[in-house]
């Protein structure tokens, strides 16, 4: 474990600003942008969930989306792997460039997008199959070359689950604890060797110890992957993220409709110590939300 992650597991009574100060790589903004989002709006059956978002997601960094419920952060993260396509009535406008290529171009197959951009969900969702078959599912459906067993073992090692499950690979994944199931889902995602890992509140259904393990894992994984995480937990963002985007909800006076907007996007340490926007400051100091 690195010094950084040890610190992450002992939060104690530190303030968010203190946590954030010791964290986050200031150099990430010099790296290539994996995603370049501009003028992005998403609506569900005409109701705008989030609008006019523009931000860059940098390579080998952890980028966190924070904000109150209904601010559209989950909607936004689902644009990166085109999971919104599965929601009837969802409409995405604007541009999401992935290594310079528009993800919403007419020649882009969402299935191809998803094999490069993995996703971990809020609630662990192991398949009702054996641990082995859970990990092997991705490589199998994608027809990946190479020995399947090695691939499964490698993925389980990387998600720090191997030692706990190596003797029961043939047992049902549903018998694992919640934290183990979530690491299994991370392993499942790693087995197809994605470029980016999207995590939609990956620890919100887990106990504190499991949460710490997932956070440690994120620090590990960002060396090889680009990670985007949605979180309700500001301390988590302060601990794991290099860059943080704060979203807020705007309520239309006339119709009462709620729409998410991006308020501020900057280095995590900046967001939690000297935010530029009053709304961000109110949120991170606990005066709102």
Partner 1 sequence: MSSRALKGGLFKALLLFSLFVGLLMLVVLVLDVFLDGLPYLDLTLLTNPPSSDPEIAGARPAILATLYIGLLLLLFVVPIGVGTALYLEEYADKTRWYNRLLEINIQNLAAVPSIVYGILGLAFLVRGLGLGRVLLAGAMILTLLVLPTVIIAAREAIRSVPDSIRQGAYALGATQWQVVSRQVLPAAIPGIATGSILALSRAIGETAPLIMIGAVTYISFDPTILGPFTALPIQIYSFLRLPQEEFKLLAAASIIVLLVLLLTLNAFAIYLRNRYRRTW
Interface with partner 1 by CB under 8 A: which residues?
A: 81, 83, 86, 88-89, 111-112, 114-116, 118-119, 121, 123, 125-128, 137-138, 141-142, 174, 185, 188-189, 192
Give CA–CA dist 75/14, Å, rounded.
31
Q: Is 200 helix (H, G, I), strand (E, B) or coil?
A: strand
Residue closer to partner 1 (CB basis): 190 or 245:
190
Contact predicate 61/229, CB 8 Å: no
The minimum distance between CB 145 and partner 1, in angstroms, equals 15
C-alpha R_g of the chain: 19
Give CA–CA dist 79/96, Å, rounded.
8
Contacts of 40 (CB under 8 A, 6+ apart): 50, 51, 52, 53, 54, 76, 79, 92, 93, 94, 95, 96
Residue closer to partner 1 (CB basis): 138 or 179:
138
Residue closer to partner 1 (CB basis): 48 or 197:
197
Residue closer to partner 1 (CB basis): 92 or 238:
92
Q: Where are the beta strands (DSSP E) in 31-84?
A: 33-44, 47-58, 62-66
The minimum distance between CB 195 and partner 1, in angstroms, equals 12
The minimum distance between CB 259 and partner 1, in angstroms, equals 23
Give CA–CA dist 153/135, Å, rounded.
9
Dump the DSSP string for 135-179. HHHHHHHHT--S-HHHHHHHHHHHTT-HHHHGGGTTSBGGGS-HH
Residue closer to partner 1 (CB basis): 39 or 112:
112
Phi, psi dihedral angles at 225 (to 5 degrees):
-130, 165
The minimum distance between CB 10 and partner 1, in angstroms, equals 33
The minimum distance between CB 124 and partner 1, in angstroms, equals 9
The minimum distance between CB 155 and partner 1, in angstroms, equals 12
Residue closer to partner 1 (CB basis): 189 or 237:
189
């Amino acid at each position: 474990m690195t010094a950084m992650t040890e610190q992450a597991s002992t939060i104690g009574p530190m303030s968010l600003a203190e946590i954030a100060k010791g964290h986050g790589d200031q150099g990430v903004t010099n790296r290539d942008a994996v995603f370049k989002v501009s003028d992005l709006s998403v609506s569900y059956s005409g109701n705008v969930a989030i609008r006019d978002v523009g931000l860059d997601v940098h390579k080998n960094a952890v980028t966190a989306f924070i904000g109150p419920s209904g601010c559209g952060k989950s909607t936004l993260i689902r644009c990166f792997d085109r999971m919104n396509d599965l929601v009837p009535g969802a409409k995405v406008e604007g541009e999401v460039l992935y290594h310079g290529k528009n993800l919403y171009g007419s020649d882009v197959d969402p299935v191809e997008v998803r094999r490069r951009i993995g996703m971990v969900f809020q609630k662990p969702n192991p398949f009702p199959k054996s641990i082995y078959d859970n990990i092997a599912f991705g490589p199998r459906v994608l027809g990946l070359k190479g020995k399947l067993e090695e691939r499964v073992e490698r993925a389980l090692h990387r998600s720090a689950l191997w030692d706990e499950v190596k003797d029961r690979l043939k047992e049902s994944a549903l018998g694992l604890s919640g934290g183990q199931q979530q690491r299994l889902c991370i392993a499942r995602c790693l087995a197809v060797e994605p470029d980016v890992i999207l995590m939609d509140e990956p620890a919100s259904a887990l106990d504190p110890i499991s949460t710490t393990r997932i956070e440690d894992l994120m620090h590990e994984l960002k060396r090889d992957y680009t990670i985007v995480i949605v979180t309700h937990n500001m301390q988590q963002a302060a601990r794991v993220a290099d860059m943080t985007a704060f979203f807020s909800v705007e309520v239309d006076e006339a119709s009462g409709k709620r729409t998410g907007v991006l308020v501020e996007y900057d280095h995590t340490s900046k967001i939690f110590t000297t935010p530029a926007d009053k709304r961000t400051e109110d949120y991170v100091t606990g005066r709102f939300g």
